[in-house]
Structure 1
Amino acid sequence: MSTLIFRTVAPFLTALMLLFSVFVLLRGHNEPGGGFIGGLIAVSALAIYGIAFGVAAMRRAIVLHPLTIAGIGLVASTLAGLVSLAAGVPFMTGLWIEPSFAGVTVPLSTVTLFDIGVYLVVIGGIGSIAMTLEEEGDL
């Protein structure tokens, strides 16, 4: 199904979907969005790229092995919980800091770190499954 039109449009569509997935991720924890749905959108973008150019091109595009990405996400999510324990509050309690960069206050939280971890776990886990299924389909 890899037509010339599809192969031409796939990189632009992939980039647009990845950008939208980051928007949904950063939109956050208290509004519709977050790490899980952002990760699903990102994996869908990578799947479109993989269908257009093959699994080998998709593996080259993501650089790291998908399970490594999932492992990094799991560590980030766990770290978000451990920070709260180190602060003396219950596990997975949201904590915020507001550092200033060039005169702009940027609120950072453990909730955002947790969402980024979930985002990476979803990309790694579902991406690994999708690539394995696509490789088996090529045989």
Structure 2
Amino acid sequence: MIKKILVIHGPNLNLLGEREPGVYGNMSIDTLNSNIIDRAREQGLECEIFQSNHEGAIIDKLHAARTAFDGVIINAGAYTHYSYAIRDAIAAIKIPVIEVHISNIDAREEFRANSVIAPVCRGSICGLGFLSYYLAVQAMAEL
């Protein structure tokens, strides 16, 4: 049976390639998604990708993931730092969740260094650009 994973991109990630390229790079979200799907396929995984700027939509997708997927990779964007609702949704679903960030959240503004979702995630990968996602896909294949 093929393992199925879900990748969730949070707020503002739809603007990759346009938004602060010095921080987030020049790659568009469409190219990133294509690369993630290719990496997942190489690892023998089926991958679905979801992006939303809305907290409730992310929570709904996490809830649905509990019965449809074997794991989740999430870049919760700014919700990382204050969304206890997303944190609680991750804790409730009982499948592995890996937190990813393109930038090094510990090396940026002080408020970004705190992740309220990290304690309920299986692991966190940040600061490696788009490689953060690719490493999370590899980790999902090996979990």
* Superposition TM-score, scaled by structure 1 size: 0.24
Structure number with larger C-alpha Rg: 1
Q: Greater helix share, 1 or 2?
A: 1
Larger strand percent:
2
TM-score between both structures, scaled by the size of structure 2: 0.24
